[in-house]
Amino acid sequence: MKETFGEKVRLLREGKQLTREEFCGDETELSIRQLARIESGKSTPNLARAQFIAQQLGVGLGELTDGKSLELPKRYTELKYLILRTPTYMDAERLRIREEQFDEIYEKFYEELPEDEQLTITFIQSKFEVYQTGDTEFGTDVIEDYFKQVQKKKLYTLNDIVLIDLFLTCSIVSNFTSHLFDNAIYELLSSNLIKQSEYLPIEDLPLLNSVLLVCADASVRLEKFNLLSNLLSASHSLMTKIQDFQKMPIYNMLMWEYYLFGENNYVQAENHYNQSILFAKMMNDIHLAEKLEKEWEMDNLGK
* Nearest CA-CA partner of 81 in 246, 252, 288, 301: 246
pLDDT tens for the chain, 303 residues long, are 667 889 999 999 999 999 999 999 998 888 899 999 999 988 888 888 899 999 999 999 888 988 887 889 999 999 999 999 999 999 999 999 999 999 999 999 999 899 899 999 999 999 999 999 999 999 998 998 889 889 989 999 999 999 999 999 999 999 998 788 999 999 999 999 999 999 999 999 999 999 999 999 999 999 999 999 999 999 999 999 999 999 999 999 999 999 999 999 999 999 999 999 999 999 999 999 999 999 999 999 855
pTM: 0.87
Domain boundary among 39, 65, 91: 65
The range of the structural domain enclosing residue 17 comes to: 2-65
Residue 234 in any domain: the answer is: no
Could you tell me the CATH number of the domain that includes residue 51?
Answer: 1.10.260.40
Residue 171 in any domain: the answer is: no
Residue 108 in any domain: the answer is: no
Q: What integer pLDDT is reported at residue 80 of this predicted model?
A: 97
Residue 290 in any domain: the answer is: yes
Integer angstrom CA distances of residue 266 from 149, 225, 260: 42, 16, 6
Integer Cα distance of 69 and 50 in angstroms: 11
Q: What integer pLDDT is reported at residue 134 of this predicted model?
A: 93
Residue 263 in any domain: the answer is: yes
Domain boundary among 65, 93, 119: 65
Looking at the 3D structure of the chain, how many domains does it have?
2
Please return the burial class of 294, using the count of CB atoms within 10 Å of its CB with bins 0-12, 13-18 and 19+.
Answer: exposed
Q: What integer pLDDT is reported at residue 1 of this predicted model?
A: 64
Integer Cα distance of 200 and 248 in angstroms: 21
Q: What integer pLDDT is reported at residue 302 of this predicted model?
A: 56
Contact, 166 vs 130, CB < 8 A? yes
